[in-house]
């Protein structure tokens, strides 16, 4: 798989998840019953991240591999930061504005690893 294709796929998934967060559902949302906590700000971060993936894939395909690697490292770091700061609470705020729960942190770590590995193993173009 090329880095361009991977970035495009990740971008579309992030946009879809961001939009899904605005619809009441048991997977992503503000409800205590939702598996992953995603308030309006969190949804916007997902959409912006997805748009960045798509823009890099379409406008700067040569940079897609580097973008995947950097994004994977950042997501992995956010997941670790969330886990270390959550303490005994089930919810925490990352970077002063992003509300996450423990499931979010595990997902961020998993996504960070996957995106990083895809970036490292994908063909440049």
Q: Is the pLDDT of residue 91 over 80?
A: no
The angle, 0 to 180 degrees and rounded to 10, between the axes of the packed helices 102-121 and 3-20 is: 160
pLDDT in tens, 18-73: 999 999 899 998 887 889 888 999 999 999 999 999 999 999 989 999 999 999 99
Residues in the chain: 125
CA geometry: angle at 31 spanning 30 and 33, to 5°? 135
* Pairwise CA distance, residues 89 & 111, whole Å: 23
Cβ within 8 Å of residue 27, ≥6 positions away: 20, 34, 35, 36
Token pair listed for 101: 């729960």
Q: What is the pLDDT of residue 89?
A: 63
* Cα dihedral sign, 88-89-90-96: negative
Written in H, E and C, the secondary structure of 57-69 is HHHCHHHHHHHHH
For residue 94, what pLDDT band results from cuts at 50, 70 and 90?
confident
pTM > 0.85: yes or no: yes
């Amino acid at each position: 798989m090329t880095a361009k294709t991977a970035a495009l796929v990740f971008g579309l998934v992030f946009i879809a998840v961001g939009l899904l967060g605005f619809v009441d559902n048991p997977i992503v949302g503000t409800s205590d019953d939702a598996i992953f906590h995603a308030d309006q700000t969190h949804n916007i971060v997902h959409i912006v991240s997805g748009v960045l993936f798509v823009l890099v894939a379409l406008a700067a395909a040569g940079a897609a591999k580097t973008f995947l690697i950097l994004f994977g490292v950042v997501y992995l770091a956010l997941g670790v930061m969330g886990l270390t700061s959550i303490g005994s609470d089930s919810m925490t705020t990352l970077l002063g504005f992003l509300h996450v729960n423990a499931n979010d942190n595990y997902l961020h770590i998993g996504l960070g690893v996957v995106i990083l590995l895809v970036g490292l193993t994908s063909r440049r173009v």
